[in-house]
Amino acid sequence: MNTLTQSVKKFRRTPAFTGFVLFTIALVMNILMQGINSGTPLAFFKPAFYGSMLMTNAPFILTTMAQSLLLIVGLFDISIGIQLALVNVICIMVPQELGLPIWAGWLAAMGANLLVSAAFGACSSLLRLPAMLVGYAFTFIIKGVNVSIMSKPQGKVPKEVYLPYQTLIGGVLPVALLVIVAIFLMWLLIKRRPLGKHLYAVGGNPRNAYAAGISPVKVQMQANLLKGFIVGVGGICLTLMNASGNPLQAEDYGLRSLIACILGGMGFGGWGSMACGVFGASFFVLIQNAVYYFFSYLSKVITGFAVSTYWQNLVSDVILLLGLLVTIITAREQRKTLKEGLFNQFKGGEARVSR
């Protein structure tokens, strides 16, 4: 067997395969729709276009990556969306109200979000409360804090600060993409270290992990702090993108990032990787784009065809549900792998040798 087919086969068995298939479908659809709609077949590949798309969606993609990290240890946080707004609010208000430099605002925002993440970790891991309802309660708390810091949308970021984020390096490489890649590399690094193994061990079965000498509470806290860091980066990206503050934005990112992770092939605990999050979030974004182009094309071709954005949203959401349906087929290989893995465990590794 040559190495290419072997590596393809290997890839089919990884959790990210589901997300990859969906992502590819969405990407092709988006490229086609946009090409048809604009008349230039390769409109998608214009740096200005994909640059702005990555820039506007980087916060969502980063949030989903953070969510996927939590899912690996068997937790999830639906207040993650409003946490972006918290970072955004502090980034804006610290320089504006206290007269401190902008980097101080960023540091304060990052610190605040790490604190929130630690508190979430304390509630969900240390006190062992259901993560979903803790997230629900945290949404209220953070919303209240956000509005008491900033009562209404306001503030601005100096041009020399946000412009670098919105440019393309060498005219082709968006800075937002670099941020995402940097976070992803960080994940790859962590995955290779003992912490990476511990994350999966705790997510897979906390009791077994505990018996093996890993402290589930400690590992889940570490995952929460890492999540807090990534969300902090996402919040700063959001601030640079909007160049203003809004205390109540992005709340729906919490639930959306969770759906995106599952679409990308994550399971609840010990299954999946950050790549799943990236693929899932990208699928989300690309489908919405593709549907938008599809409808604007229809309204061009058919005279008198006009539909509200409500229809577009409906079609996108139906496609998302179909995406979940597709995972039945695409995840078959992985579920088989998972079962074989379990089998190997029971056999004490003998089965692996004979195969």
Partner 1 sequence: MSAAEHRDLIPWYHPKKLLISFRRSPPLVAFALSALLFLITILINPKGLNNRFIGSLILLTTLLAISSAGQTIVLIGGGMDFSVGAVMSAAAIIATYTMDKQDSVLIYVQVLALSLLMGAVVGLLNGFFVVKIGLPAMIVTMAVSNIITRLQYVFTSGSPAGWAGQKFVDSIIYRFFDLIPSIVIYALLFVPVVFWILNRSRFGKQVYMVGNNRQAAYLTGVRVNWVIIMTYVISGMMSAFAGILGAGYKATARVDIFGEYAFTSLVAVIVGGTTFSGGVGTYTGTIAGALLMTVLSNLLTTLGLPQTMRDILNGVIIILLLMLYNRSKAVRQ
Q: Which is nearer to partner 1, 233 or 290 (CB)?
A: 290
Q: Is the CA virtual torsion 223, 225, 226, 228 positive or negative?
A: positive
Residue 319 beta carbon to partner 1: minimum distance, rounded to whole angstroms = 10
The runs of H, that is alpha helices, within 167-306 are 175-192, 194-204, 206-211, 216-242, 253-263, 274-301
Residues 211-230 that bind partner 1 (CB under 8 A): 216
Distant-in-sequence, close-in-space partners of 3: CB < 8 Å, separation ≥ 6: none
Contact between 245 and 118 (Cβ < 8 Å)? no
Contact between 208 and 201 (Cβ < 8 Å)? yes
CA dist 309 and 324 (Å) reads 23
Q: Which is nearer to partner 1, 17 or 106 (CB)?
A: 17
Q: Is 152 among the residues that bind partner 1 (CB under 8 A)? A: no
Q: Is 139 among the residues that bind partner 1 (CB under 8 A)? A: yes
Q: Is 28 among the residues that bind partner 1 (CB under 8 A)? A: no
Closest to 16 in 3D by CA, of 75, 65, 77, 78: 65
Q: Which is nearer to partner 1, 188 or 321 (CB)?
A: 321
Residue 33 beta carbon to partner 1: minimum distance, rounded to whole angstroms = 20
Backbone angles phi, psi at 190, to 5 degrees: -65, -40
Q: Which is nearer to partner 1, 51 or 254 (CB)?
A: 254
CB atoms within 10 A of CB 218: 13
Q: Is 298 among the residues that bind partner 1 (CB under 8 A)? A: no
Type and span of the H or E element at 346: helix 332-346
Q: Is 136 among the residues that bind partner 1 (CB under 8 A)? A: yes
Q: Which is nearer to partner 1, 123 or 275 (CB)?
A: 123
Q: Is 118 among the residues that bind partner 1 (CB under 8 A)? A: no
Tell me, by CB under 8 A, how many residues bind partner 1.
42
Which positions from 163 to 202 touch partner 1 by CB under 8 A, shown as an x/- string? ----------------------------------------
Closest to 298 in 3D by CA, of 284, 312, 318: 312
- Decide: residue 304, CB within 10 A, 0-12 exposed, 13-18 middle, 19+ buried: exposed
Q: Is 255 among the residues that bind partner 1 (CB under 8 A)? A: yes
Residues 299-328 that bind partner 1 (CB under 8 A): 308, 310-311, 313-314, 317-318, 320-321, 324-325, 327-328
Residues 256-295 that bind partner 1 (CB under 8 A): 258-259, 262, 268
Residue 288 beta carbon to partner 1: minimum distance, rounded to whole angstroms = 12
Contact between 257 and 281 (Cβ < 8 Å)? yes
Q: Among 20-28, 102-110, 139-147, 168-176, which window interacts with partner 1 (CB under 8 A)? A: 139-147
Q: Which is nearer to partner 1, 133 or 163 (CB)?
A: 133
CA dist 26 and 40 (Å) reads 19
- Decide: residue 131, CB within 10 A, 0-12 exposed, 13-18 middle, 19+ buried: buried
Structure tokens at 83: 């946490």
Contact between 270 and 72 (Cβ < 8 Å)? yes
Residue 231 beta carbon to partner 1: minimum distance, rounded to whole angstroms = 18
Q: Among 21-29, 45-53, 96-104, 135-143, which window interacts with partner 1 (CB under 8 A)? A: 135-143
Residue 37 beta carbon to partner 1: minimum distance, rounded to whole angstroms = 22
Q: Which is nearer to partner 1, 61 or 259 (CB)?
A: 259
Nearest-10 crossing angle of helices 216-242, 194-204: 110
Among 25, 36, 118, 132, binds partner 1 (CB under 8 A): 132
Residues lying near partner 1 in the complex (CB under 8 A): 123, 127-130, 132-134, 136-145, 147-148, 206-207, 210, 216, 255, 258-259, 262, 268, 308, 310-311, 313-314, 317-318, 320-321, 324-325, 327-328
